[in-house]
Amino acid sequence: MVRTVAVIGAGPSGLTSIKSCLEEGLEPTCFESSDDIGGLWKFKEVSEPNRASIYRSLTINISKEMMCFSDFPIPADYPNYMHHSRILQYFRLYAEHFKLLQHISFQTSVRSVRQRPDFSHSGQWEVVTENREGQEERHMFDSVIVCSGHYSYPHLPLKDFSGIESFEGKYFHSWDYKGPEDLYGKRVVVIGIGNSGGDIAVESSRVAKQVYLSTRRGAWVIRVLSDNGLPVDMKYNTRFVHILFQLLPVNWLSWFGEKKLNAMYDHTMYALKPKHRLFSTIPVINDELPNKILTGGVMVKPNVQQIRGSSVVFEDGSVVDKVDVIVFATGYNYDFPFLPSNVMHKSGHRVGLYKHVFPPTLEHPTMAVVGFIHALGAIMPQAEMQSRWVTRVFKGHKKLPSNQAMLKAVEYDTKDMDKNYIVSKLVPLQVDFVSYMDDIAGEVGVRPSLAWLFFTDYPLFKRVLWGPVTAYQYRITGPGKWSGARQAIFTQFERMFQPFKTRQVTYLLYIHTEDASKIFVFKINIVTGLLFVYNWVEKKLLLNLIPHIKFHKC
């Protein structure tokens, strides 16, 4: 019987794991190597080895209603897209409200996690920690939840850049970037067009002489701002849109999405157009990048071929001279140095975890990894859902399949990811947000039933179907049911609009997100109907023409 749980890391995944343990009557002890909660979202002026690092201006690209935990809405007056300081403040409110801090040992690093000699019988783990004085201590736990994240080990592929040793300027990884202060009047090359690369290129272009953004394969760039000024995820991350994705051909959906993006600015003209389709990978989110390209502050370039002294040569043969700084926004490696190598099963580029959570080869399911995932959506509600499932398994309320069945599921999942996404060593964690949330919610027993809601609570049914898939939906029923979930869903747009109420106006014109979604669906239906008519007409014409076509021998 599992009773004691070691939680490694006090970031958002660690905090919600502590809470889930307490909800199931378990006894969590969280080990945090730094002096504060927050993990990635705790800003420090100097990056510390083996810890996540963010820049001073970082603002999250997921709106507050979509990123909050399921039973603790973010205060209504907080902005929809929050600066990292506000996010950390929210985590403090969450930790204080649910009394989580008393379960955290700060400035305590985990050095090793090993199976005890009697693991085959007990399923227990030995955890070795080290405090700030360097003193080691051994602990015994019934189970372990790893919440150490995947942004602690920067990937700096210098060997892939011929001549880097001859570079006369300064180079560093985006992990070390804090702000543009040292880039005044400089010529800067940013390598990599992920979210960090885009942010750094935009911010540095305000002070640099010129910024060049180098990309190997391009990117689709979306905005956080949608029609009528609404947060884009509140409009499109709905259950109905998700159903459309299951019913319509992905190539058509990509065509439709690309058409909408190119209507804002042509990705070909802006030198951004990638080699892949829109839904083959998670897009870059950046509202300012197109403007910086338009005004010349940022110039998009292909992949770097060679570096010669202070010159950078690109694959198209173009050369930029007198480069002062190169920023490598080249992603992160993932590692669990404190775990035995035989625990983590590899499957392709990814760590072979069953549903991205459980190692599938253990005799006892007493270890789990929470928050080791990437979707077009916030990590907070996904990590919370994972932790709710994990603690139900630890408690014995839920059982996992056999080891063999889990291994097969992992291999199938890996092939499915390779089929649907562009997967590489640096981006092996992609999932679809709604599909994944619903899948894990089904394991917990908290997935909302549209049929049940249709007959028992039609007003709520409409909001669950047409509205954004916020985490509150997974507290409507089942284990961990929250009495405030329905009210939170009905008031989520009020909290979204609250930060805008800074000046009294005679009339505020806006389209409610549900109405906007219905208009969007109407457009989808029209276009889909036209496509079917086109295909029907094309086939009819072909059938009518075939009898009149004469074939001649050559």
Residue 206 has pLDDT above 70, yes or no: yes
- Confidence label for 523 from pLDDT (cuts 50, 70 and 90): low
Do the domain assignments include residue 485? no
Stated pTM of the model: 0.89
User: Which residue, 330, 316, 299, is CA-closest to 195?
Assistant: 330
Spatial separation of the C-alpha atoms in residues 145 and 384, rounded to whole Å? 12
Do the domain assignments include residue 314? yes
Q: What is the CA radius of gyration of the chain?
A: 25
pLDDT digits over 136-172, tens only? 999 999 999 999 988 889 999 999 999 999 999 999 9
pLDDT digits over 17-44, tens only? 999 999 999 999 999 999 999 999 999 9
What's the pLDDT at 525? 56
> Nearest 5°: phi and psi at 325?
-140, 140
- Asked if 204 and 317 sit in the same domain, the reply is yes
pLDDT digits over 217-226, tens only? 999 999 999 8
Instruction: Say if CB 488 and CB 472 are below 8 A apart.
Output: yes
- Asked if 33 and 139 sit in the same domain, the reply is yes
Token pair belonging to 185 = 């009047």
* E-assigned strand segments in 95-175: 104-105, 108-115, 125-131, 136-141, 143-146, 153-154, 170-173
Instruction: Say if CB 38 and CB 11 are below 8 A apart.
Output: yes
What's the pLDDT at 505? 86
| Lowest-pLDDT range of 16-20, 397-401, 463-467, 528-532 | 528-532
Do the domain assignments include residue 469? no
How many CA atoms within 13 Å lie on the side-chain side of 25?
Answer: 7
What's the pLDDT at 431? 83
**What average pLDDT is seen over the chain?**
90
- Asked if 392 and 414 sit in the same domain, the reply is yes
- Asked if 238 and 255 sit in the same domain, the reply is yes
- Asked if 326 and 345 sit in the same domain, the reply is no
Question: Three-state SS for 368?
Answer: strand
Residue 168 CB partners (closer than 8 Å, separation 6+)? 309, 310
Do the domain assignments include residue 471? no
Do the domain assignments include residue 553? no
Instruction: Say if CB 31 and CB 39 are below 8 A apart.
Output: no
What's the pLDDT at 300? 98
Over range 477-490, report the average pLDDT. 97
Helix axes 458-466, 513-545, angle to 10 degrees: 60
pLDDT digits over 58-74, tens only? 999 999 999 999 999 99
Over range 324-331, report the average pLDDT. 96
Maximum distance among all alpha carbons in the chain? 91
Residue 340 has pLDDT above 90, yes or no: no
- Asked if 70 and 141 sit in the same domain, the reply is yes
Q: Of 408, 443, 478, which closes a domain?
A: 443
Instruction: Say if CB 464 and CB 450 are below 8 A apart.
Output: yes
Residue 149 CB partners (closer than 8 Å, separation 6+)? 9, 11, 13, 39, 40, 52, 371, 372
pLDDT digits over 230-279, tens only? 999 999 999 999 999 889 898 899 999 999 999 999 999 999 999 888 88
Question: Three-state SS for 501?
Answer: coil
- 203: domain CATH number? 3.50.50.60
- Confidence label for 552 from pLDDT (cuts 50, 70 and 90): very low
> Nearest 5°: phi and psi at 350?
-100, 160
- Asked if 393 and 288 sit in the same domain, the reply is no
Over range 449-465, report the average pLDDT. 96
What's the pLDDT at 348? 53
Question: Three-state SS for 3?
Answer: coil
Instruction: Say if CB 335 and CB 151 are below 8 A apart.
Output: no
Spatial separation of the C-alpha atoms in residues 410 and 169, rounded to whole Å? 45
Do the domain assignments include residue 54? yes
What's the pLDDT at 377? 82
- Asked if 209 and 308 sit in the same domain, the reply is yes
Do the domain assignments include residue 481? no
Do the domain assignments include residue 62? yes
Supply the range of the domain harboring residue 339: 4-152+334-443
Spatial separation of the C-alpha atoms in residues 411 and 414, rounded to whole Å? 5
Over range 299-318, report the average pLDDT. 97
- Asked if 237 and 293 sit in the same domain, the reply is yes
DSSP conformational letter for 147 = -
What's the pLDDT at 342? 80
CA angle 97, 102, 106 (to 5 degrees): 120
Instruction: Give whole-number Cα distances, 459 to 235, 454, 466, 490, in Å.
Output: 18, 8, 11, 9
Over range 283-310, report the average pLDDT. 96
- Asked if 260 and 117 sit in the same domain, the reply is no
What's the pLDDT at 198? 97
> Nearest 5°: phi and psi at 425?
-60, -30
Number of domains forming the structure of the chain = 3
Q: Of 421, 443, 465, which closes a domain?
A: 443
Q: What is the DSSP string of 274-307?
A: -SS-GGGSPPEE-SSHHHHHHTTSEEEE--EEEE
How many CA atoms within 13 Å lie on the side-chain side of 308?
Answer: 9
Question: Three-state SS for 179?
Answer: coil
Q: Of 332, 351, 384, which closes a domain?
A: 332
- Asked if 401 and 362 sit in the same domain, the reply is yes
Residue 228 has pLDDT above 90, yes or no: no
Spatial separation of the C-alpha atoms in residues 461 and 429, rounded to whole Å? 31
Over range 393-415, report the average pLDDT. 93
What's the pLDDT at 40? 94
Residue 123 has pLDDT above 70, yes or no: yes
- Asked if 141 and 163 sit in the same domain, the reply is no
Spatial separation of the C-alpha atoms in residues 155 and 328, rounded to whole Å? 9
Q: Are strands 210-214 and 304-308 parallel, antiparallel or unpaired?
A: unpaired
Spatial separation of the C-alpha atoms in residues 39 and 13, rounded to whole Å? 9
| Lowest-pLDDT range of 30-44, 454-468, 497-511 | 497-511
What's the pLDDT at 45? 94
